[in-house]
Chain A
C-alpha cells in the first residue's frame, strides 16, 4: 500500500504566519509516512524551498518545489514547474507580482498567471463554500502542462457532498480531480501553534479569535492508507496524486549557478585575463620588482585558481574594487580567499603576503568545491553607491540582495505569544524583558517565580511552552546587510526578486544558507565606519602634511604604535577600543601584526566560552610551556601556541580530532549560527566530544573546544577575517599615535560609528595635546577641519555638523554664503537665509563668539528676530528691519548650566565637564573622582560617580553587565555581577549620572570597580539647569561584535 499517495498541497511556515511546521518537519514526516513524493508550495513564495530540498535529499524522498499562487481575481492555484524553463516562468511571475507591490506583498492577476502557465502543473484549490470556481475556464486554456482540481477534506460535515460536487465540476471541465491533504502542519499537534499564528496575523487574542481559527486539526500530512480510507469511492483521485507527482520532474539541482561573464575582454579567457591583471597590478604594487617569494606565491595561487575555476569570482570582486577605487571609496576585502598574494596584488586587500604567513590553501579547501568567500568592506557613508553600481552594471534582473530570514527569537516569541494568549502587558514585558542575548535566560520555573509570577498559572505555562516551540519559526524576510547575488543569465528566472524595505533596493527570496546549498555565488558588499574614517585620515594627511599614503603603504610595524596599544590607549582605534579589548590590551601586549590578528579574534564569545584566553596568555608570557594536544593538531594550532582561537581552527579540530567529515563540520558551524532547537546541539556535542575522546583527547579539552564552537555562534571569527581587520586596527592606531589631530578630526566626521560619542573623542584628543576649537559661524565648515592652532601646529575646529538639529542644507548654505564673514546675526540671517530655529540652535551651540556674542546674549539677540525667513524686499536691499531697543540686563549664566547647554546643543563641551560643578555635592555623598579610583588598591572599598558612557551585557559574560562611567578626571570601569544587576536594573538602565559603591579589583594595569550598590544621581545635574540633559551616549545593551 505504500507509495500509493503523494502530497501535492503542503505549505510550510515560510507561508509566514500561516504554515505551522518547518519545511524540514514536513519533509521528514512525509518520508516517515511513506509518501511517494511531497510538494511544497508556500503562499506566493519559494523562500522555504531550498530548506525543503535539502531535507528531502537527506530523507530520500522525492521533492517537488512549487508555490501556492494567489491571484487577486481568481482561485488559489498550486503551481509546480515541470522543467527549468517553467521554473523560470514561475520566478518571473512572482517577481512581477512582488516588484510592483509593497515589501512582503505580491500582487498579480489571473491573466498574468495564465501568461506564465506554460510548462506548469497546476492544481486549482476550490474555495470552501460550494460555489462556482471563477477563472477555471481560463486556467484550463492557459497552455499549462496539466491542470487538475485539488480535492481536500475539510471535516466540516459536508465532505461527502463536496467531493461529489467537485467531481462533477472536474467532469464538466474535463480535468482530473486529485486528492490532497492540504497540509499546513506536519502533524495535528501543531494546531495550537497554527491558532496563535492566526492571532498574531489578525492582531486578536485567542479568546476573541473565534471563527478565524480552523475548526479542527485536520490539515496535516496523512499516510497513504489513511487517504485511501478517507477517499473511499474516490480512490482514483488518490492514485492520481502519484501520477501527477511523476509529471513534475523539475528539481532545484537543475539551477546551475553561472558567474557573470562580462569581465574578460574579447580574446581572453577569464583565467588569462585574471593572470594578466594580476601581473600588471603586481608590477604596480612592487615598483622595484616583484620579490621572488611573492612571485612564487602568485604563481601557485593562480594555478590553484585555475584548477578550481575561480577566475570569474576573483574578476567579479576585482571589478567591484576597481569601481570603488575609481570613485575614491576606500574598501578592503576579507575572508578565506582574500588573504592571498593575488588579492594583495589586485588591491583587494592590504594584507601584505610577505609580512604575514597566511597560506591561501589553509583557507580554500579544494575538496569541498564550495565557492570561495570574500567579503568586501566599504566606507559606510558610500556603500550604497557600490550597491547601486552593481544594479546598474548587471541590471535588476541579474543582481539582487540576499535575503535574511527573520526568525522568532525567545524574546519576540514570548512577546507575541503572550499577546495572543491575552497575558497582561506587564507580564509580557517582564517575561520578555528578562531575556538577554539569544539563549541566555529562558524563563524556567525559578525565574518566573522570581518575577513574582506563578509558573503554574495555565496560561503563563502554556505561553512559555509554546514560545519554545515558536522560537526558530520564520517571521518575515529582510534584506541581508550586503550580500549580493550576481548571475550570468537572468536572476529573476532563478529566484523571485522582491522589493526590499529600503528604496532602490531589490532582494531575492533566499538567504545565504540557501545560496550555499545551491552553490550560488554571493558577494558581500558591507559597510564599515572605520573605512570612512581612514579615508578621511588619508585625505587630511595628504592635504595638511603632504604625505600621500594608502592603507598598504602606511609604515608597518612601528614600535611606537604598539607601545601605545599596550597602554590600552585606544579610544577610536578600530576593534580594540571596546571596553573588553581595552582591558585585554595590557595583558596581551601586542608587538607585531600577527598579535593584532589574534587580538581581534580572541576577545570574542568563542574563545572566551572555550576558556582559551588564559591558556593562550600564559603561554605567550612563558608561564606555561607550549604543547600540542596531539601531533596531528600541531599543524592546526602552530600559529597560536597550541591554543585554538580562530573559527577555522575549531572547524579543523572537528575534522582532524573529532572525525567529522568536512561537510559535517560545515553543518556543525551552520547549526550554531542559526538558532535551532537544543536537540540538534546536543547531538553534535555528543558526536564531537565523543569523537575526540575516542581519539585519545582529554574530556576537558574536548568540552572546551565544543564550548568554543558554541560561543562562535553567529559571531564566529575566522583568522582570514581577523587578518584584514588587523590592518585597519594598525592603520587607525598609527594615525592616532602620530597624527592625533588628523585622527580625531576624521573620527568626528565619520560619526556615528564606533563605541564613543564625540564628547569622548574630543576629550581623548585634548588629552593627547590636540587643541580643539569650538563651532563658530565664521570659522567652522560643515565637517570638522584642521586649522592653525596659533602655535604653529594644527587644531581641530569643530564642524557645523556637530550642532544638533542643524540640517545639512542649512549648514552648507551658511558656509557657501560666508565670503569674508558675518558681522552680526541679522546679516547672517539675511545672507544665509537661515530661519529662526537654525539660529537658535547655533546660539545654543555658542557659535557666535566671533561676533562677540556669547551664551545667553546670542540667544537673546536671536529671539528678537521674527519667525521664518527674512522678507524678500529687505533682504534684497541688504537692510535689516530691526528698530533700536533698550538694553536689557540678563542674569549671568552659571558655568555649570553653560556646560550642560553645550552638551545639549553639540553633544560635548570644551568649557568643562558637568561633574566639575557637582563635585562638592558628590564629595559630600562620599564619591571619589575617577583619578582617585585609579590610585586605589585591590580590595579597597570605594565609590565613584560619573556619566554613563557605555552599558554592555556581552553574551559571553552570562549576565554580567559592564559599565563605563566618566567624570572630569577620567573613566571608571564598573562590573555588575548578575545579582547586583537584578537588584538595580532600573537604576542602571535609566541613570544619566550614576553613583556606584563597591570594591576595587586590580589585575596588572586593569582596574575594575565591582559594584555593590548603585544610585541614580541624575537629579544632581538637574540642579544645574532645568533643561533636560541629553544622555551623552545612547545606552547600548546588545553585544557589539563584528560578524564573520
Chain B
C-alpha cells in the first residue's frame, strides 16, 4: 500500500512543468489544474499529448481525461473507456500502456458545458462514492449516474447523505470542488535548452557549468542540500542519457557540485553519440534535506555519514570518477569464521558504527591480520586434542611456547556444503610472534590437518 502511494506521488511529481497546482487523489489518481497553462502549451490537445509523453516515460499504465470539473475528469479517466461496465481495479492495472479513452474522439476531453449528459450511462462508482454506498445503490437498482439524477434530490440526500448529493452536483458543475494541492517539489532541477542540437563537447560543458550554478543557487536559497543528483542529456532522437551521482556529503554550493561533475565527465564524458545532438540538458537534485548548523563549515566538507572531513571529500571525488562500487570499506559482519568476519562494501553505503555487531561472551577478539587464504602447515600436538608444540610455516619452524584455546567453530553449512568444523588455537612462540592456528575437526582422533589463518592477535 505504501509502495503504491509512493508510485503515485512519483508520477505526480513528474508533472510540475505542466502546472504548479497538483493534487493527489489516492489511491490511484491525481489532478492537474491546467486552466492557466493551456495557452503555454498551445492548446488542450498539445498539452495532453505532452503530458501523455511525460507519463509514458514512467512505465506506469496511465489514463487521463480533461474536463470542466475535477469530478468529471476523475470519472472520465476511469469510466468512459467501456461504457456501462463498472471500472475495476484489476482492469486499470492490467492495462500495460497509456490508453486514450474512447468516446471522446481523438483525445480524452469532455467538451465544455456538456455536464451530466455526457455521463448519464456511467456507473455510480464514477462519482467517487465509498464502496458501501455504491453497493447499496446497486442493490437498489440505481447503477448509473443517470438513474441517480432522476431521483428527487431530497430523497437521495436523506438516504445517502450530503456527500453523495454533493458529488453528483460537482460532476454536473453545480457545486465547487476545492482541492488540496501538493507543496512545491523537494526535488530541485535546472534545465537548459539549446536552439539547435548540440554535438560538440565544449558548449555542453559550458551548459553543465551554468546548470550547477543555477541549481546551487536554488538550493542555497532554500537552505537545502542533497546527496543524490542526476544529469540528463535529452538527445534529439528522443533518448535520454542519465548520469547519476551519489555523494557521502550533503552537497549544496555550486563549486562542490561542479568539482564532482567534472570528475564524472572526465571519467566517462558526456559526449553524445556521433551525429546525434543534444536538445537540452537538465540537472536534478533528489531528496533534498535541510542543511543543519554543524554542516555549515563547508570548506572542511563536514558530513553526517561516518566519513568525515577531507576523507569524505576524497571519497566523493573517487566515487564520482570511478563509480560508487569501486571505492570500498570493510564492514564487520556476524560470522564466527575469521575470513567472513569482514566484508567490503561501497564507501557510500558504510553503515554507522553503532550498527556493528559484536560477538557475545568472552571469546578472544577476531584477528586483525588475515592471510589471503589459510595456509596448511606442519604442526604436532603433544597431547591428543591439545595445542601444537611447534609449527612449520613457509619452510621455517617456530617452537611454540604459549597457547590459548581451544575455540571451536562450526562450519556455515548453509553456505558451503559439508565442511569440517575447526578448532582454533592462538599460539605464541618464544619471540612473541603470534599465530592463529586451526585444525580441522574430522572424526576425532586421527591425525588432523593444521592451518595458519592469521598472524598477531
Whether B408 lies near A218 (C-beta < 8 A) is yes
Whether A157 lies near B140 (C-beta < 8 A) is no
Q: Which residues of A contact B292 (CB under 8 A)?
A: none
Q: How many Å lie between the Cα of A216 and that of B335 in the bound state?
A: 12
Whether B409 lies near A215 (C-beta < 8 A) is yes
Q: How many Å lie between the Cα of A462 and that of B158 in the bound state?
A: 65
Q: Which residues of A contact B155 (CB under 8 A)?
A: 864, 885-886, 888
Q: How many Å lie between the Cα of A381 and that of B424 in the bound state?
A: 65
Whether B363 lies near A158 (C-beta < 8 A) is yes
Taking the complex as formed, is B421 at the interface, i.e. its CB lies under 8 A from any CB of chain A? yes
Q: How many Å lie between the Cα of A229 and that of B364 in the bound state?
A: 23
Whether A156 lies near B407 (C-beta < 8 A) is yes
Decide yes or no: A888 and B151 within 8 Å by CB, A128-B360, A155-B406, A157-B404 being known contacts: yes
Taking the complex as formed, is B136 at the interface, i.e. its CB lies under 8 A from any CB of chain A? yes
Within 8 A of A (CB), among B98-152: 135-136, 138-143, 147, 150-152
Whether A856 lies near B139 (C-beta < 8 A) is yes
Q: Which of A203-211, A402-410, A518-526, A744-752 contacts B (4 or more CB under 8 A)?
A: A203-211
Q: Which of B220-228, B259-267, B275-283, B410-418 contacts A (4 or more CB under 8 A)?
A: B410-418
Taking the complex as formed, is B390 at the interface, i.e. its CB lies under 8 A from any CB of chain A? no
Q: Which residues of A contact B363 (CB under 8 A)?
A: 156-158, 215
CB distance from B429 to the nearest CB of A (A): 18
Decide yes or no: A886 and B159 within 8 Å by CB, A128-B362, A893-B141 being known contacts: no
Contact of A217 among B158, B159, B421 (CB under 8 A): B421
Contact of A891 among B142, B159, B334, B385 (CB under 8 A): B142
Task: Give the interface centre of B141, B158, B423 by most chain A CB atoms within 10 Å.
Answer: B141
Whether B409 lies near A216 (C-beta < 8 A) is yes
Taking the complex as formed, is A68 at the interface, i.e. its CB lies under 8 A from any CB of chain B? no
Whether A211 lies near B334 (C-beta < 8 A) is yes
Whether B158 lies near A885 (C-beta < 8 A) is yes
Q: How many Å lie between the Cα of A158 and that of B425 in the bound state?
A: 11
Give the interface size class of chain B: 35 or more
Interface string of A834-847 (1 = CB under 8 A from B): 00000010001000
CB distance from B118 to the nearest CB of A (A): 22
Whether A157 lies near B334 (C-beta < 8 A) is no
Taking the complex as formed, is B217 at the interface, i.e. its CB lies under 8 A from any CB of chain A? no
Within 8 A of B (CB), among A186-219: 191-192, 195, 206-207, 209-211, 214-218
Whether A844 lies near B139 (C-beta < 8 A) is yes
Within 8 A of A (CB), among B324-338: 333-336
Task: Give the interface centre of A161, A886, A1026 by most chain B CB atoms within 10 Å.
Answer: A1026
Q: How many Å lie between the Cα of A888 and that of B407 in the bound state?
A: 87
Taking the complex as formed, is A941 at the interface, i.e. its CB lies under 8 A from any CB of chain B? no
CB distance from B302 to the nearest CB of A (A): 33
Taking the complex as formed, is A130 at the interface, i.e. its CB lies under 8 A from any CB of chain B? yes
Taking the complex as formed, is B231 at the interface, i.e. its CB lies under 8 A from any CB of chain A? no
Contact of A859 among B140, B357, B384 (CB under 8 A): B140
Taking the complex as formed, is B20 at the interface, i.e. its CB lies under 8 A from any CB of chain A? no
Q: How many Å lie between the Cα of A129 and that of B385 in the bound state?
A: 25
**For chain B, what secondary structure do more than half of its interface residues adopt (helix, strand, loop), or is it mixed?**
loop
Q: Which residues of B contact A115 (CB under 8 A)?
A: none
Whether B413 lies near A192 (C-beta < 8 A) is yes
Contact of B408 among A207, A216, A1025 (CB under 8 A): A216
Contact of A860 among B86, B159, B333, B361 (CB under 8 A): B159
Taking the complex as formed, is B160 at the interface, i.e. its CB lies under 8 A from any CB of chain A? yes
Whether A856 lies near B141 (C-beta < 8 A) is yes
Q: Which residues of A contact B362 (CB under 8 A)?
A: 128-130, 156, 158, 161-162
Contact of A863 among B159, B358, B404 (CB under 8 A): B159
Q: Which residues of A contact B421 (CB under 8 A)?
A: 216-217
Closest to A886 in B: B152
Whether A885 lies near B410 (C-beta < 8 A) is no
Taking the complex as formed, is A791 at the interface, i.e. its CB lies under 8 A from any CB of chain B? no
Closest to A462 in B: B414
Give the interface size class of chain A: 35 or more
Whether A863 lies near B406 (C-beta < 8 A) is no
Within 8 A of A (CB), among B364-413: 364, 384-385, 404-410, 413
Taking the complex as formed, is A383 at the interface, i.e. its CB lies under 8 A from any CB of chain B? no
Task: Give the interface centre of A155, A162, A1027 by most chain B CB atoms within 10 Å.
Answer: A155
Q: Which residues of B contact A216 (CB under 8 A)?
A: 336, 408-410, 421
Within 8 A of B (CB), among A370-418: none
CB distance from B133 to the nearest CB of A (A): 10
Within 8 A of B (CB), among A878-929: 885-886, 888-893, 901
Closest to A207 in B: B414
Taking the complex as formed, is B177 at the interface, i.e. its CB lies under 8 A from any CB of chain A? no
Q: Which residues of A contact B404 (CB under 8 A)?
A: 157
Whether A863 lies near B160 (C-beta < 8 A) is yes
Q: Which residues of B contact A161 (CB under 8 A)?
A: 362
Q: How many Å lie between the Cα of A860 and that of B136 in the bound state?
A: 9
CB distance from A186 to the nearest CB of B (A): 16
Taking the complex as formed, is B163 at the interface, i.e. its CB lies under 8 A from any CB of chain A? no
Closest to A863 in B: B159
Contact of B414 among A421, A856, A891 (CB under 8 A): A421
Taking the complex as formed, is A468 at the interface, i.e. its CB lies under 8 A from any CB of chain B? no
Q: Which residues of A contact B147 (CB under 8 A)?
A: 891
Whether A155 lies near B142 (C-beta < 8 A) is no
Closest to A420 in B: B414
Q: How many Å lie between the Cα of A901 and that of B159 in the bound state?
A: 20
Whether B417 lies near A217 (C-beta < 8 A) is no
Q: Which residues of B contact A211 (CB under 8 A)?
A: 334, 336, 357-360
Contact of A129 among B136, B361, B405 (CB under 8 A): B361
Q: Which residues of B contact A458 (CB under 8 A)?
A: 417
Q: How many Å lie between the Cα of A355 and that of B410 in the bound state?
A: 69
Interface string of A214-233 (1 = CB under 8 A from B): 11111000000000010000
Taking the complex as formed, is A1036 at the interface, i.e. its CB lies under 8 A from any CB of chain B? no
Closest to A229 in B: B385
Task: Give the interface centre of A157, A218, A892 by most chain B CB atoms within 10 Å.
Answer: A157
Interface string of A148-159 (1 = CB under 8 A from B): 000000111111
Decide yes or no: A890 and B426 within 8 Å by CB, A155-B406, A217-B410 being known contacts: no
Q: How many Å lie between the Cα of A885 and that of B156 in the bound state?
A: 11
Q: Which residues of A contact B154 (CB under 8 A)?
A: 885-886
Whether B385 lies near A1027 (C-beta < 8 A) is no
Interface string of B263-302 (1 = CB under 8 A from A): 0000000000000000000000000000000000000000
CB distance from A321 to the nearest CB of B (A): 51
CB distance from B253 to the nearest CB of A (A): 40
Q: How many Å lie between the Cα of A215 and that of B141 in the bound state?
A: 69
Interface string of A431-466 (1 = CB under 8 A from B): 000000000000000000000000000110010000
Q: Which residues of B contact A459 (CB under 8 A)?
A: 414
Q: How many Å lie between the Cα of A886 and that of B151 in the bound state?
A: 9
Decide yes or no: A860 and B140 within 8 Å by CB, A128-B362, A155-B408, A211-B360 being known contacts: yes
Whether A128 lies near B361 (C-beta < 8 A) is yes
CB distance from B76 to the nearest CB of A (A): 21
CB distance from A899 to the nearest CB of B (A): 14
Q: Which residues of B contact A844 (CB under 8 A)?
A: 139
Q: How many Å lie between the Cα of A901 and that of B143 in the bound state?
A: 16
Whether A891 lies near B406 (C-beta < 8 A) is no
CB distance from A604 to the nearest CB of B (A): 43
Whether B410 lies near A863 (C-beta < 8 A) is no
Q: How many Å lie between the Cα of A864 and that of B160 in the bound state?
A: 8
Given A129-B361, A215-B336, A217-B421, 12 extra CB contacts under 8 A: A155-B408, A157-B407, A211-B358, A211-B360, A216-B408, A216-B409, A462-B414, A856-B139, A859-B139, A863-B159, A890-B140, A1027-B138
Point out residues on A near B: beta carbons under 8 Å: 128-130, 154-159, 161-162, 191-192, 195, 206-207, 209-211, 214-218, 229, 421, 458-459, 462, 840, 844, 856, 859-860, 863-864, 885-886, 888-893, 901, 1025-1027
13 A-B pairs whose Cβ atoms sit less than 8 Å apart in the complex: A157-B405, A158-B361, A161-B362, A191-B410, A206-B414, A211-B334, A211-B358, A215-B359, A218-B408, A890-B141, A891-B147, A1026-B138, A1026-B143
Q: Which 9 A-B pairs have the closest CB atoms?
A: A210-B334, A157-B407, A891-B141, A863-B159, A216-B408, A155-B408, A156-B363, A128-B361, A886-B152
